């Protein structure tokens, strides 16, 4: 799942795969603003079959947080 996630995010947000490390901050690493954040949420939801609730987003700061969230919430 992690390999696929890294590949998809790197491609969509035009960053090198090797900057996507577990402890890296998602917004800073991929230069996300409020609009592109919605693109990321939509992409992860579609590709991995999860629903990311707005209320849970503040807890998803690093890529490790994202992987944990997807593991726990995959349908």
Partner 1 sequence: MTTDDITSLIPQRPPILMVDRFSYEVDSLCHSELTLKEDNMFLHNGSMVPEGLLEHIAQTAAAHIGYRRKMAGEEVNLGFIGDIKRCTMGKRMPTVGQTVMTTMRVVSQVGNITMVSAESTSNGVTLIECRMKLAN
Q: Using CB under 8 A as the criterion, which residues of the chain lie in contact with partner 1 when the complex forms?
A: 34-35, 37-39, 41-42, 45-46, 52, 54, 57
Output the smallest distance, CB 52 to partner 1, in A.
8
Nearer to partner 1, 35 or 72 (CB): 35
CB of 54 to partner 1, least distance (A): 5
31/33 Cα distance (integer angstroms) = 7
18 versus 32: smaller Cβ distance to partner 1: 32
Question: Min. distance of Cβ 27 from partner 1 in angstroms?
Answer: 12
How many residues are given for the chain? 75
Q: How many CB atoms lie within 10 A of CB 17?
A: 12
Cα distances from 52 to residues 13, 15, 16, 71, in angstroms, run 19, 22, 24, 12
């Amino acid at each position: 799942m992690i390999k696929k996630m890294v590949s998809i995010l790197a491609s969509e947000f035009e960053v090198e795969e090797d900057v996507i490390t577990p402890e890296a901050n998602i917004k800073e690493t991929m230069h996300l603003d409020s609009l592109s954040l919605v693109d990321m949420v939509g992409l992860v939801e579609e590709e991995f079959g999860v629903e990311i609730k707005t209320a849970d987003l503040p807890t998803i700061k690093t890529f490790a947080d994202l992987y944990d969230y997807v593991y726990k919430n995959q349908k």
